[in-house]
């Protein structure tokens, strides 16, 4: 984590938590999270919970969706419009999570369309990329991830790219308890930053936030944040418990304060 880039700790609750559980979490966490200019804290919940979470969010904790359609309206049964997310007060949206790419036929093309749509509706996209175990073992991770980043950012302007957060999530590390080592995560995240440099410029590459995701927990967050290019985490399992989520936020806050000294 480098000085100047505000860290992000984004929870991805996936299809967990009912309404009562979600509210209990929010009431516990709301007052404990630091100011947004120190650490950006986000919870991405199921669509049906978003309105009630937005109504109760405090000044700092932000609410995000886990997916959306790229069209504003139309005959897309079961889908959620980015305009409705914006109306609801949601400010972030995860795009291209590997579970959606693998199980719901998300393609590089739809991911790119969704990034454009999110920006149009003032939603901050958390754009996910990451490789399977086969690709990691074949030694072609960086090429794979670079290709995903280039496809997702097709026709995104210099002004727009600054609003995007990228999350590098190796598929083999998601929900498996097998985290990438800080060195593996740093190497690929640095490669992603270099793609942004090639596509845009040095200053944009130095400012864009790139997160790591995949079995992040309070025990490994510090070693990940110790790496220069890792600007926070996208967290599934360890974001469900308020105490564990707050420990992750606290680790980012400590690092941020140390960097500023
Ligand atoms: P995990 O999930 O932290 O449970 O591995 C991360 C994610 O899917 O975003």
Contact 238, 9 (CB under 8 A): no
For residue 1, tell me if it sits in a domain: no
Among the options 40, 69, 86, 97, which is catalytic? 97
Tell me, what's the pLDDT at 206? 97
Its pTM stands at: 0.97
For residue 191, tell me if it sits in a domain: yes
CA of 204 to the centre of ligand 1 (A): 27
The question of whether 97 is a catalytic residue gets the answer yes
Dihedral (CA of 100, 102, 106, 112) sign: positive
Tell me, what's the pLDDT at 134? 95
DSSP string, 216-256: --TTTHHHHHTSTT--EEEESGGGSSHHHHHHHHHHHHHHH
- Rounded mean pLDDT, 67-71: 98
Tell me, what's the pLDDT at 232? 98
- Rounded mean pLDDT, 229-247: 98
Tell me, what's the pLDDT at 177? 83
Q: Is the pLDDT of residue 18 over 90?
A: yes
Q: Is the pLDDT of residue 190 over 90?
A: yes
For residue 207, tell me if it sits in a domain: yes
CA of 156 to the centre of ligand 1 (A): 27
For residue 46, tell me if it sits in a domain: yes
For residue 185, tell me if it sits in a domain: yes
CA-nearest of 122, 139, 120, 123 to 131 is 139
Q: Is the pLDDT of residue 106 over 90?
A: yes
- For 199, the token pair is 């596509």
Residue-wise pLDDT for 158-173, tens only, equals 999 999 999 999 999 9
Residue-wise pLDDT for 239-251, tens only, equals 999 999 999 999 9
Tell me, what's the pLDDT at 2? 83
Q: Give per-residue burial for 150-178: e unless 16+ CB within 10 Å, then b.
A: eebbeebeeebbeebbbbbbbbbbbeeee
Residue 80 domain boundaries = 8-260
Mutation test of ligand 1: which of 236, 237, 239, 244 has the most ligand atoms closer than 8 Å to its C-beta?
236
For residue 176, tell me if it sits in a domain: yes
Q: Is the pLDDT of residue 152 over 80?
A: yes
Among the options 99, 106, 169, 186, which is catalytic? 169
Q: Which residues are within 8 A (CB) of 112 and not within 5 positions of it... i.e. 6 or more apart?
A: 151, 152, 153, 154, 155
CA-nearest of 189, 200, 140 to 166 is 189
For residue 2, tell me if it sits in a domain: no
DSSP H or E stretch at residue 211: strand 209-213
Tell me, what's the pLDDT at 85? 98
Tell me, what's the pLDDT at 6? 96
Tally of structural domains, the chain: 1
Tell me, what's the pLDDT at 1? 82
**CATH number of the domain enclosing 178:** 3.20.20.70
- For 167, the 3-state DSSP assignment is strand
Lowest-pLDDT range of 117-126, 189-198, 252-261 = 252-261
What integer best gives the mean pLDDT of the chain? 96
| C-alpha span between 191 and 211 (Å, rounded) | 13
- Rounded mean pLDDT, 62-86: 98
Which numbered atom of ligand 1 lies nearest the CA of 238?
A: 3
Q: Is the pLDDT of residue 178 over 90?
A: no
Identify the bridge partners of residue 212 per DSSP, sorted by sequence position: 168, 233
Contact 248, 215 (CB under 8 A): no
For residue 130, tell me if it sits in a domain: yes
């Amino acid at each position: 984590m480098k000085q100047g880039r505000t860290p992000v700790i984004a929870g991805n609750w996936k299809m967990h938590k009912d309404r009562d559980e979600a509210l209990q979490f929010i009431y516990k966490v709301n007052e404990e999270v630091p100011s947004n200019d120190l650490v950006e804290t986000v919870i991405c919940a199921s669509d049906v919970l978003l309105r009630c979470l937005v109504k109760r969010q405090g000044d700092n904790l932000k609410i995000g969706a886990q997916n959306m359609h790229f069209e504003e309206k139309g005959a897309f049964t079961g889908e959620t419009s980015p305009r409705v997310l914006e109306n609801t007060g949601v400010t972030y949206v995860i795009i291209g999570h590997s579970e959606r790419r693998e199980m719901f036929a998300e393609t590089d093309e739809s991911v790119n369309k969704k990034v454009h749509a999110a920006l149009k509706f003032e939603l901050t996209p958390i754009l996910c990329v990451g490789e399977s175990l086969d690709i990691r073992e074949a030694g072609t991770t960086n090429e794979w991830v670079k290709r995903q980043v280039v496809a997702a950012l097709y026709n995104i302007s210099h002004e727009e790219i600054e609003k995007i957060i990228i999350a590098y999530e190796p598929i083999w590390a998601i929900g498996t308890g097998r985290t990438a080592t800080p060195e593996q995560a740093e190497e690929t995240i640095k490669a992603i930053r270099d793609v942004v440099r090639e596509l845009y410029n040095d200053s944009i590459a130095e400012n864009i936030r790139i997160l790591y995701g995949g079995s992040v927990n309070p025990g490994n967050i510090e070693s990940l944040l110790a790496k220069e290019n890792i600007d926070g985490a996208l967290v599934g399992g360890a974001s469900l418990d308020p105490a564990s989520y707050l420990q992750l936020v606290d680790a980012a806050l400590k690092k941020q304060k140390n960097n500023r000294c």
